[in-house]
Structure 1
Amino acid sequence: MTDLIPSKEDKDGEKQVRYRMLYESEDKVYIRHIRGFYSRIRKYTGLPLLLAFFFIPWLMIDGRQAVLFDLPARKFHIFWTTFGPQDGMLLAWLLIIAAFSLFAVTTLVGRVWCGYTCPQTVWTLMFVWAERVCEGDRNKRIKLDKASWSMEKFLRKSGKQALWILIALATALAFVGYFYGIRELVLDLARFQAAPVAVFWVAFFTIATYLNAGFMREQVCKYMCPYARFQSVMYDQDTLAVHYDTKRGENRGPRKPGIDYKAKGLGDCIDCSWCVQVCPVDIDIRDGLQYECINCGLCVDACDSVMDKMNYPRGLIRYTSEDELETGKTNFVRPRLFGYAAVLLAMVLLFTYTVATRMPVQAEVLRDRGARMYRVVQGDVQNVYTVKINNMDQAAHKFNIRVEGREGYQYSIRKPKVIFVEEGELYAVPIRVSVPKSQIETPKHKITIIVEALDNPELRDEHVTVFIAPKPGK
């Protein structure tokens, strides 16, 4: 059964009910290739992202893959830093910062993330490029699809499919390589020795990339992406987005040079439909701002090229705000935008400080919770603790443990002579802290257990705990 939703519209003063399908299969979109300012921006923003995605896994730092998310070992190696499960809060912060960045950017310049840096957009551009290389531009592709099967058509279609599969496979290998290790993954697949789970995920992401960028394309932006649905909440009258200047463009109509079109009541829009032909989501921007629009600016490039040919001023379709279209002015200083920027700046500064001052060695101290909270041996009061040393550095270290406490107390500690902890290892060691009973003044007082690396005193951590003793005189 097809899902339909009713919507009411005014027509001749009467309420009319119109039914629109929530999802419907649409005709194939043939995107016209266009050159211009915004198409170059898409190239310059997409190309660095692609280069980073494909080549970062091949970088090596200190004999290790520069970026490796080692899930079995529960360690994330990101360049010169290793993060563990205890750093989950940093990941939460990073996601919150990304969300606020998206809110701030959307409030200022609309849905530019989707138009320039969204992976769905970037990969679709690659697939469209492969399609254009093999089958030609828009008109040639339309004719080719309508033509009967021939050797030329077979070769062109086969070449396109081969390029699509190659791009999809390279994407899957790079993505899985971030988790498996790109060199090990390629060698294991070449030798048919890869783990079944690795083969499954490579196949899964190959198929997903092939379908998303090759066939689904604008359907993902229209029906699957949640951002398209809630972006309007972040828009206001001063948000910059791609708009069609109705006052200048209407009425539309074709024309020939040398004719006074204004006397005929025509605007600057010659109704060439180039703005529709270049649109990757197949909408007509002249119908007004629509949730499907990804603000890619290709319709701006197309319209400007037509205006140049007609010797009309550029900007019939342009990045502007609703206020600018109505009043000629955009207010860039707005409370909501200022609030987003202030919160975002504070979070970025706090996150940067936390990462910069993060110590790659952490110590956790647990008191012995047995029935005997303390022990008196040869005139000394003893407490037993378990010290857990988490070495998150990318090198092994030897550690020393010492105790600081109440002034005037003489602390002695019994521990292993050598505490050697491998990189990424969580090592637990029992220690026994002793204080002469004659010095005890209170049944409880705080002590600080300090763990530091012998080869690098800056790698240290300390933990405050409680030392328990009998009451003085007992």
Structure 2
Amino acid sequence: MSDLIPTREEQEGDGEVRYRMLYESDDKIYIRHIRGVYTRIRKYTGLPLLLAFFFLPWINIDGRQSVFFDLPTRQFHIFWTTFGPQDGFLLAWLLIIAAFALFAVTTWMGRVWCGFTCPQTVWTMMFMWAERICEGDRNKRIRLDKAPWHLEKILRKGATHGIWLLIALATALAFVGYFYGIRDLVVDLATFNAHPQGVFWVAFFTFATYMNAGFLREQVCKYMCPYARFQSVMYDQDTLAVYYDAKRGETRGPRKKTMDYRAEGMGDCIDCYWCVQVCPVDIDIRDGMQYECINCGLCVDACNSVMDKMGYDRGLIRFTSEDELERGKTRFLRPRLFGYAVILLAMVGLFAQQVATRSPIEAEVIRDRGARMYRISQGLVQNVYTVKINNMDQAAHEFTIRVEGAPGYDYSVRKPRRVVLEAGEIFPVPIRVSVPRAQLKDGKHDIEIVVQAVDAPELIDRHRTVFIGPKQ
């Protein structure tokens, strides 16, 4: 009995303890196709994301793939900017911004991200579209699955799974292409010259997409997605979500269109179950708020279409808040939402400022850690350093290396004083810094090693280090 739990509602109902599985493998869900406002909105939110995901790798900028995560060289090329390992704090910052954006949107409109732009939802809807095209709408699919295997069923099912596999393969190619290089990946696969790791990941993501969007679907939203578990702590009485207006809808029941249902004590709900039949996670919104609900709005479109046929007002199921249902008003300006918005805007502004002012070159200086901290030759005190120059710009540059320090010191840098680096190249340059011994006032003082591009003086980086010599 370790994987069973007693259901509280049934205990309070008749006193008998009943048990339910913690995880239940539900029967296949047959989604009814519906048209409406939120169905159209999903096209406008999901389609741009799909186009960007599939076509961005094919766009070249300055001779390079527009978005390319080059793991072997540890460089991320995003449009006109190249990021390296030293920019890891920007990634952490971006993830924090995304988290706060999720908190703000959830407080404002609930799980609207899940319903309209989450990849799980978008890809599931594409797979459902393939089912509907090949096998028909809900009732036809039910009859087809119950029917014995015959030629038509084999052809329809084969076409469905064929489209699923094509979508899954295109998804895998696009995703792996961000790391492998999409053009190289396609050519290498077509000529059987692809690296084994590339072949493995294409096969893995094809299989994962096929299984996830084809078979798991609502199981991901119900049991795998952590967001469904903690999103309730971000809700308040004024959070917009999909609700059923029980005051208006109850008592529900079937009736004729010409029937005076008010006189019979009935509400507007005709108990047609369309709201259940269109739900991608197979819940009945009339049972109240449930954590599985992804706020996709399909039940709203279904209910509104039924209300139109019956001649009733729309909005029996709608995006609203608990306060609006109980008191007829929703507060949009409230402290929690205002706080999230202020923090989010501040973080976005600071992030944009960091990216805009970020220098595309970086110099890392490592002082020689040999047994001899300095060397005296011909009246000069010499220290040896390794200057690692990282050219993160999209073009090649020639860089000069010079030393700046306290007044009264004549610093000289022995060759190489100039180095040419290609775009994205990292190159360590050993240099020897010399100071006349007679000028040394202290045995240890700070200096700055300056790296600057010859053809672009604004590309400059300074690194503070220590120069060590004999004590006077």
State TM-score, norm by structure 1.
Answer: 0.96
Letter in 1 for 2:68: L
Cα distance per residue 1:279-311 (max 9 Å; x no partner): 011100000000110000000001111111111
Q: Which residue of 1 aligns with 2:81?
A: 81
- Residue 248 of structure 1 corresponds to 248
Alignment match, 2:287: 287
Show the 5 A alignment for 1:336-415: 336-415=336-415
Instruction: For 1:450-469, list aligned pairs within 5 A.
Output: 450-469=450-469
| C-alpha displacement of 1:243 | 0.3
Partner of 1:272: 272
**In 1: Cα distance, 2:467 partner to 2:191 partner:** 59
Q: More displaced, 99-108 or 19-28? A: 19-28
Name the CA distance, whole Å, in 1 between partners of 2:174 and 2:221.
24
CA distance in 2, matches of 1:15, 1:453: 81
* 1:109-152 C-alpha deviation (Å, 9 max, x unpaired): 00011101111100011111111111111111112222233322
CA–CA separation in structure 2 for the residues paired with 1:12 and 1:110: 30
* Two-structure CA RMSD over aligned residues (Å): 1.7
Q: Which residue of 1 aligns with 2:95?
A: 95
Q: Distance in 2 between matches of 1:257 and 1:422?
A: 76
The answer on 1:5 being equivalent to 2:1 is no
Q: State whether residues 395 and 423 of structure 2, in contact with CA within 8 Å, keep that contact through their aligned partners in structure 1.
A: yes
Deviations 1:410-454 (A, max 9, x none): 222212154122332221122222222332223332211100111
For residues 233 and 320 of structure 1, the distance between their equivalents in structure 2, rounded to whole angstroms, comes to 18
Q: SS of the residue aligned with 1:388? A: strand
Structure 2 distance, partners of 1:337, 1:257, is 43
* Deviation, structure 1 residue 385: 1.8
User: Structure 1: how far apart are the matches of 2:374 and 2:191?
Assistant: 60
Distance 1:339 1:12 in 2: 41
Contact 2:279 2:298 in 1 (8 A): yes
- Give the aligned partner of residue 333 of structure 1: 333
State the aligned residue count: 472
Give the match for residue 170 of structure 2: 170
The answer to whether residue 237 in structure 2 is matched with residue 237 in structure 1 is: yes
Q: 2: CA distance between counterparts of 1:93 and 1:358?
A: 14
Aligned equivalents of 2:390 and 2:338: distance in 1? 41
Instruction: Give the letter for the 1:367 counterpart.
Output: R
d(CA) in 2 for partners of 1:408, 1:49: 60
Amino acid at match of 1:261: Y
**Residue identity in the other structure for 1:133:** I
* Distance in 1 between residues matched to 2:466 and 2:11, nearest whole Å: 79
Amino acid at match of 1:171: T
Query: Are the aligned partners of 2:401 and 2:417 in contact in 1 as well (CA < 8 Å)?
Result: no
Contact (CA 8 Å) 2:107, 2:235: kept in 1 or not? yes
Pick which of 424-433 and 136-145 moved more: 424-433
Task: Encode CA deviations 1:288-335: one digit per residue, 9 max, x unaligned.
Answer: 000110000000001111111111111100001111111111112222
- After TM superposition, where is structure 1 displaced by more than 3 Å over at least 4 residues in a row? 9-18
Quote the residue 1:132 is aligned against: 132
Tell me if structure 1 keeps the 8 A contact 2:5–2:20: yes
Aligned-partner Cα distance in 2 for 1:368–1:98? 42
- SS of 2:461 mapped into structure 1: strand
What's the CA shift string for 1:196-237, capped at 9, x where partnerless? 111111111111111111111111111111111111111111
User: Is this contact kept in 1: 2:11–2:17, CA < 8 A?
Assistant: no
- Return 5+ residue gaps in structure 2 as ranges: none
Moved more, 437-446 or 317-326: 437-446
Q: Judge which range, 461-470 or 7-16, deviates more.
A: 7-16
Q: 1:101 to 1:463 in 2, by over 3 A?
A: same
- Per the TM alignment, residue 346 of structure 1 is displaced from its structure 2 partner at its CA by 1.6
Q: C-alpha distance in 1, partners of 2:450/2:93? A: 29
TM-score by length of 2: 0.96
Letter of the 1:44 counterpart: Y
Tell me: CA distance 1:32–1:2, structure 2 relative to 1, closer, same or farther (3 Å): farther
Following the alignment from structure 2 to structure 1, what is the Cα–Cα distance between the partners of residues 226 and 13? 35
CA distance in 2, matches of 1:301, 1:358: 47
5+ unaligned residues in a row in structure 1: which ranges? none
CA distance in 1, matches of 2:30, 2:337: 37
Q: Alpha carbons of 1:257 and 1:417: their partners in 2 closer, same or farther (altered >3 Å)?
A: closer
Secondary structure (helix, strand or coil) at the match of 1:344 reads helix
Shift, 1:102, TM fit? 0.7
- The Cα of 1:2 is off from its aligned counterpart by 7.4
CA–CA distance in 2 between the matches of 1:417 and 1:8? 78
Give CA-to-partner distance per residue, 1:235-255, whole Å, 9 cap, x none: 111111000001110000111
Match runs of 1:413-424 below 5 Å: 413-424=413-424
Distance 1:13 1:113, change over 3 A: closer
1:124-181 CA-partner distances (Å, limit 9, x unpaired): 1111111111111111111222223332222211111111111111111111111111
Change (3 A) 1:79 1:234: same
d(CA) in 1 for partners of 2:167, 2:198:
18
Matched, 1:310 2:303: no
Describe the shift of the 1:370–1:154 C-alpha distance in structure 2 as closer, same or farther (beyond 3 A).
closer
Letter aligned with residue 3 of structure 2: D
The residue type equivalent to 2:289 in the other structure is L
Q: Which moved more, 1:233-242 or 1:362-371?
A: 362-371
1:383 partner amino acid: N
Which residue identity lines up with residue 328 of structure 1 in the other structure? G
Residue 208, structure 1, aligned to residue 208, structure 2: yes
Q: CA deviation at 1:386?
A: 1.8
Match of 1:449 in 2: 449
Check whether the contact 2:300–2:317 (CA below 8 A) recurs between aligned residues. yes
Comparing 176-185 with 387-396, greater Cα deviation is found at: 387-396
Partner of 2:389, secondary structure, is strand
Q: Which amino acid aligns with 1:169?
A: L
SS in 2 for 1:433: strand
